[in-house]
Amino acid sequence: MREAWIIDAVRTPIGRHGGALAPVRPDDLAAITIESIIQRSDLKPETVDDVIFGCINQAGEDNRNVARMALLRAGLPVGVAGQTVNRLCGS
């Protein structure tokens, strides 16, 4: 890849620990944002090379590469790479 393009950015809803979003898997929530970007930008999934996704906490049973799992759940091809940026505390 010679050039990198940032197509769009989408923010997931903010909730509190144990709140209304507690039963939603992080990769399912992330997949919704990826699907939204694909739809809004009229991108073809096969043109995506890489997905970089920020996640504050991916511990517990959901401890995996959230970006990779989300892009697969969003229907992107298996050959697309996914990277998760984990930042626990920015303060």
- Closest C-alpha among 84, 27, 79 to residue 48: 79
At residue 30, what is the residue type?
A
pLDDT tier at 72 (50, 70, 90 boundaries)? very high
Please state the pTM of the whole predicted model: 0.81
Helix (H, G, I), strand (E, B) or coil at 45: helix
Domain boundaries defined on the chain: 26-86
87 close to 54: Cβ distance less than 8 angstroms:
yes
pLDDT digits (tens, 9 = 90+) for 2-11: 787 787 888 8
